[in-house]
Amino acid sequence: MSQFQHIEATELPTLMTQHRVLLVDVRNEDEVMRGRIPHAIHIPLSMLPVQYQQLEDASHVVFYCHSGVRSALAADFAASKGSAHVYNLTGGVIAWAKAGYDFVNQ
């Protein structure tokens, strides 16, 4: 069974200062256009199986979506492929915004 961890929005900045973290936004294009977490790349969940090679060199990967459901699927997929240090951002961009963090536009 694949294994990934959940990370809270308030814990993510610390993880990013301690490790080289790849943030992956798995939302749809229209959602991403409303803003994304700084330094994130966009790979829609439906495209993750064919664009997975973009993640292979990352030591830590954090997936996020709107509320954390789709990103949990993405994290499970990445963990099943053997990626270590895979995280799902609990609560997605909703939690990120509630924690008071900023977004950037495309």
CA distances 13 to 10, 21, 60, 69, 73, Å, are 7, 10, 13, 21, 22
Positions annotated as catalytic residues are 65
Q: What is the dihedral of CA 88, 105, 57, 96, to 10 degrees?
A: -20
